[in-house]
Amino acid sequence: MTSIRRIQAVFIKDYRDFLKNAYMLSTGVIPLFFAFIFNQGEGVQSEAAFMPIVLSMVMVGSFIQAGVIAEEKEKNTLRGLLLSPLNTAEIFIGKSLLSAVLSVIMIAAVIFIGEIPMPDQIFLVAAAILISLVIFISIGTILGLISRTVMETSVIGIPVLFIFGVGDIFQTMIESERVIQVMGYLPDQQFGHLLMQLREGQSVGEPFLVLSLWAVVSIIVTIFIFKKRRFD
């Protein structure tokens, strides 16, 4: 039986802790700067316009999540949670809630500050953001589980940031068509396609399907790694 009370308790604890954590707080606001820098008014009509949103998901969804998980391991507090009546689902949901809430706030802020031209289909956009958040938070959880310390997450996290967050920047440097094609299926790219196609009134079945697949696979991998590494 999943208990809202226990999930809420973990969330409140994480929130209190976050407010006193300078490293996390500073990581959390980075996307705002990017939104400022990238704000080119009505100018940007390509998918690059959505980059600050993806960056929010990576910095807050993945990085903060990774830090929050790695710290529980580094400070030996995860064991206390594991030996409490929390079940696996409650630990996952409870430990993801802070980065999820912060991501949503940050995405809203970034859209506002960056004046990002969003499609009008609000529910589809919300669904796309939620599915993508599942993916990025799962990636963050995996990063946190395989790192021994919070500092290690930022080291292991850099390649992740480049591949999943700002992959389009690399695309100009890559020669091989094949690689570019494969990279097109990465969640950040799919998220961009999805919003772009929505804006242009095209069908969005394929990017939704690809994103959903990413979400399912990343959850499975997260659970697998969790079962293996939780008591390390």
Residues making contact with other proteins (CB under 8 A): 5-6, 8-10, 12-13, 16-17, 20-21, 75-77, 79-87, 231
Comparing CB distances to other proteins, the nearer of 79 and 93 is 79
Comparing CB distances to other proteins, the nearer of 23 and 162 is 23
Q: How far is the CB of 230 from other proteins (least distance, A)?
A: 9
Residue 193 to residues 33, 47, 86, 163, 186: CA-CA distances in angstroms? 24, 7, 39, 16, 11
How far apart CA 110 and CA 116 sit, in angstroms, is 8
Q: How far is the CB of 219 from other proteins (least distance, A)?
A: 21
Comparing CB distances to other proteins, the nearer of 19 and 122 is 19
Q: How far is the CB of 7 from other proteins (least distance, A)?
A: 10
Q: How far is the CB of 185 from other proteins (least distance, A)?
A: 37
Longest CA–CA separation in the chain, Å: 54
Comparing CB distances to other proteins, the nearer of 29 and 75 is 75
